[in-house]
Chain A
Amino acid sequence: MTAAVEVTGLVKEFGGLRAVDGVSLSVPPGERRVLIGPNGAGKTTLFHCVTGTLAPTAGRVALFGGDVTRLPEHRRTALGMGRTFQISNVIADLTCRENLLLAAAGTDARKWVLHRRITAFEDLARTAQDNLARIGLEHRADEAVRRLSYGERRQLELALALTSRPRVLFLDEPCAGLSPSERARISRMIAGLPRDLTVLMIEHDMDVALGLADRVTVLHRGRVILEGSPGEVQTHPEVREVYFGHV
């Protein structure tokens, strides 16, 4: 079966620093893959290269068998990639509804329409409304995003990515900085995503990560040092050493 995401020999250098040093990984459709690794392991840089935010120095990225290595970000989104950012990246001056309307129109030719109100497109409005309901923010639909709490912004971030109906979803530490209850809420949302959606997720919290993952890839200093089931990873001596140092 064709992999949903196939990364081959990916390298990203910043000056003399090799942030990603020859990473290859293959994620089959519908799998939930969690990337773990200590700070500076190259997880976010790898994400940036796969989703097109950064151009890789070398290597290849394929989405459902099609080479997307040289495609700009918006084309990859049109082909089914969706992502969230480590630091919330929502449009603070617009309302929650407007953010989601933009997400709904982003992969649709109607984003070029000049002469009609965006709210006049009922299907877009409904998509926005449904995704607002998904994160329980209907009551704040018309408030500016800048008035939302940090946790609410994280949820909106996830809703934005889902609204563009991705086939592969990249989540960069969706639970970072959240309270335990918010963390649980996001985890439940992720766990409740349709099983045909492929999910790649960076997560520091081992409990969250291992609870959601089908398979885990461990990165260290820009390389994959291990790939396996959550159970295998948890008990692997090399992972314990990377995470906890020599005991």
Chain B
Amino acid sequence: MTPARLAGAAALAVAAAVLPEVAGPFWMGLVTQMLVFGVLALSVDLLLGHAGLFSICHGSFFAVAAYTTALLEVRYAVATAVAAPAGLLAGTLLGLVFGLAVRTRGVYFILITIAFGYVVWGVAHRWSSFTGGDNGVTNVPFPAVAGVRIDSHTEYYYLVLVAVALVALGYGRVIRSPFGLALRGIKGSESRMRTLGYDSNRHLYAAFVLSAALASLAGVLYVYYNRFVNPVAASFPVSVEAALMAIIGGTGTILGPFIGSVIILGLRTWVSSFFELYAAIMGLVFIVAVLWVPEGLVGLAARVRGRGAPAGPGGAAG
């Protein structure tokens, strides 16, 4: 880590730590959401920015994890120590099934993930006797593990902050590992990687499951913050927005998806306060981003500094 980057990371850590002192509950809630959706965007970007696969079903893992945890906590009064890991596991298991999509590439992969996403949304929406239908599952309690109970949004914010820090560290390791480099190799030239001895489908499948696990973590973090979950969590826009967060912030980086999450959620909060058709504004932002800043803001910053487009994690990432 360069001194400048170290200083930046330290400043960010300090700012995050003292935020509750200066920000009210509304802003704390928004920042917590930004972090949680940043994790979701990061999970999508493991496939998009590293492996070159554009998945539009990550709302499914997110929602299945959130529903599992919520149902266990609320309906079956299961302890957090079981309910949270169970949510993680449920989303990951779904990833093992949906991961079969890696047998296809390109537009077929996109289409099949969209279809998968709609299946989950349909189940959440229609199987109302189990999922609560449109109302979803409400009154999810704050998490409590081994007698330690979180009982304010500020405390929960710190929990999410720690989780995000751990995720960023772990993710940084994975993308620099032989496995992570192989994913970028496959994105660059799958045929070359096969002749170098890589079973590209197996690598992509593993990446898909890993990415589903991370999306599930975001889902569990989300449900304890939000205190309820309904079919919106599994909807198409959630999956698309997660990908767009990564694109706007900068794919193939760690910071990018979080920056994208801050921009999109911030913009949505701001625009929707005075303009009903905020979705139209968001659409325009996406178009501008994809047409003029395809490398995302992190990539743009690197370009402005004259270092060229980020070559991945070695570039502007960590």
Collect the chain B residues with CB atoms within 8 Å of residue A83's CB: 195
Please determine whether A114 and B173 come into contact, CB atoms closer than 8 angstroms: yes
Write the B288-318 contact mask toward A (1 if CB under 8 angstroms, else 0).
Answer: 0000000000000000000000011010000
Among candidates B176, B179, B192, residue contacting A112 with C-beta atoms closer than 8 Å: B179
Tell me the smallest distance from the CB of B234 to a CB of chain A, in Å.
28
- Segment among B105-113, B153-161, B181-189, B278-286 that sits at the interface with chain A: B181-189
Number of B residues with CB within 8 Å of any CB on chain A: 28
Contact digits for A90-118, partner B, Cβ 8 Å, 1 yes 0 no: 11111100110111011100111111111
Q: How far is the CA of A90 from the CA of B312 in the complex (A)?
A: 17
Picked from B182, B187, B195, the residue with its CB within 8 Å of the CB of A111 is B182
Output the nearest chain A residue to B199 by Cβ-Cβ distance. Answer: A74
If A89-B191, A91-B189 touch, does A102 touch B177 (CB 8 Å cutoff)? no
**Roughly how many angstroms separate A4 CA and B174 CA in the complex, as a whole number?**
39
Residue of B nearest to A102 (CB): B185
Residues of A near B314 (CB, < 8 A) are 95
Q: Closest B-chain residue to A51, C-beta based? A: B195
Among A73, A94, A95, A117, the residue within 8 A (CB) of B194 is A73
From B177, B191, B192, A116 is in contact (CB under 8 Å) with B177
Instruction: Determine if B192 and A160 form an interchain contact, defined as CB atoms under 8 angstroms apart.
Output: yes
How far is the CB of B312 from the nearest CB of chain A, in Å?
A: 7
Interface residues of B, dominant DSSP: helix
* Residue in B closest to A143 when the chains form the complex, CB atoms: B311
| B196 CB-CB contact with A under 8 Å | yes
| Contact indicator A113/B199 (Cβ below 8 Å) | no
Are B179 and A72 within 8 A (Cβ)? no
A45 within 8 A of B: no
Partner of B179, one of A78, A92, A114: A114
Query: Which parts of A69-94 form the interface with B (CB within 8 Å)?
Result: 72-74, 77-78, 82-83, 85, 89-94
**Chain A residues, Cβ within 8 Å of B163:** none
- Is the CB–CB distance between A89 and B189 below 8 Å? yes
Q: Are B311 and A93 touching (Cβ within 8 A)?
A: yes
Mask: chain B, 240-253; 1 = CB below 8 Å from A; 0 = not: 00000000000000
A121 at the interface (CB under 8 A from B): yes
On whether the beta carbons of B176 and A102 are closer than 8 Å, the reply is no
B194 and A91 within 8 A (CB): no
**B177 contacts A98, C-beta separation under 8 Å:** no
Q: A72-B194, A106-B193, A164-B196 are in contact. Are A113 and B184 (CB under 8 A)?
A: no
At the interface, yes or no: B147 with Cβ under 8 Å from chain A? Answer: no
Across the interface, name the chain B residue whose C-beta is closest to A105: B178
A residues within 8 Å of B by Cβ? 51, 53, 72-74, 77-78, 82-83, 85, 89-95, 98-99, 101-103, 105-107, 110-119, 121, 124, 144, 160-161, 164
Q: What would 8 more interface pairs be, CB under 8 Å, given A93-B184, A95-B311, A121-B178?
A: A89-B191, A90-B192, A92-B188, A102-B181, A102-B185, A105-B178, A106-B198, A111-B178
14 interchain pairs (CB within 8 A)?
Answer: A53-B191, A74-B195, A89-B191, A91-B189, A92-B189, A93-B187, A93-B188, A98-B184, A102-B198, A106-B196, A112-B179, A113-B178, A118-B176, A119-B176
Interface pairs A-B: 7 shortest CB-CB: A106-B197, A91-B188, A106-B196, A77-B197, A107-B197, A73-B194, A118-B178
